[in-house]
Amino acid sequence: MRDLTPYERRLTQMQEEIAGNARISVWHEENEVSADLDEDPGAAFRLIAERYGMELAPYFHRSYVRFSRLWTFWRVEDGDTSTQGEFRIGNLSDALGTLPPPFSVRSSTPAERRLHSALRVIDDRPESGTGNLAALRLQPGVADPDLWYFHLGLGALRMDVDYQEYLDALILTKGMPGWQFLFCDLSKEVRGDYNWTSASSRLKTMLDVFPDLFPGHDYSDLRARLKERS
């Protein structure tokens, strides 16, 4: 049995929760640990500091994972409930070293395009085909860089969580579509440009079904966040 870091263990347990649930169909699953990374995250974070000028905060060390790819695409078809989720995360060093995809938003301004060029993907949904993803912003000299949710129709929305908190929320939501909206400031303009009723309905389904599917988790904070945005 390989030695896992605390967050590698929690994320692997999340996959096991999904795969081990008889009510869930897993359509794709990968769990690959990078063999060439040192057990101690120190070397990786020194390299990040040298390459990108970011001395990352201590919580990055606590949430360090060596996955080259941790990916699950799942679906529930149970009575009146029909929903699916997907996540694909990897090693932070690899993510920072990978150029962003060609973000295309009809109304993107020069400032938005500059922001997009600094975003590095940490979680996406390749099988779902939505184009939506989460990204960390390259910010030299910043220990606690921004996280952003990129929605193909809305552009980049800043999230109010840090990287470790993002992983914590992912463990709860299991990649449910649009869960990141619960951690974004949804202005009236954003709601006017997007069918929030449909998105909030999917999230309500998650909060109705997940306590039964995954009874070992507390969803009270997510319920409060959805209520704030309803």
What is the reported pLDDT for 39?
Answer: 61
Asked if residue 117 is part of any domain, the answer here is yes
What is the reported pLDDT for 1?
Answer: 40
Asked if residue 43 is part of any domain, the answer here is yes
Per-residue confidence in pLDDT tens, the chain, 230 aa: 467 888 999 999 999 999 999 999 999 999 987 655 556 778 889 999 999 999 999 999 999 898 889 999 999 987 777 889 999 999 899 999 999 888 877 667 889 889 999 999 999 999 987 788 999 999 999 999 999 999 887 889 999 999 999 999 999 999 999 999 999 988 766 666 677 788 888 999 999 999 999 999 999 999 999 998 87
Q: Strand order of the sheet with strand 24-33?
A: 24-33, 67-78, 81-89, 119-124, 133-137, 147-151, 155-158
What is the reported pLDDT for 196?
Answer: 78
Length of the chain: 230
Asked if residue 152 is part of any domain, the answer here is yes
Closest CA to 141 of 41, 58, 48, 59: 48
Closest CA to 204 of 186, 230, 185, 183: 230
Asked if residue 99 is part of any domain, the answer here is yes
Asked if residue 1 is part of any domain, the answer here is no
**E strands of 79-154, at which residues?**
81-89, 119-124, 133-137, 147-151
Asked if residue 88 is part of any domain, the answer here is yes
Whole-number Cα distances in Å, 126 to 77, 130, 220:
21, 8, 29
Whole-number Cα distances in Å, 226 to 93, 184, 195, 202, 222:
32, 11, 15, 11, 6
Asked if residue 224 is part of any domain, the answer here is yes
The conformation of residue 37, written as its DSSP 8-state character, comes to: S
CB atoms < 10 A from the CB of 39, how many? Answer: 10
Residues 6 or more apart whose Cβ sits within 8 Å of residue 69 = 30, 31, 32, 88, 89, 90
For residue 15, give its domain range: 6-229
Q: What is the pTM of this model?
A: 0.94
Total count of domains within the chain? 1
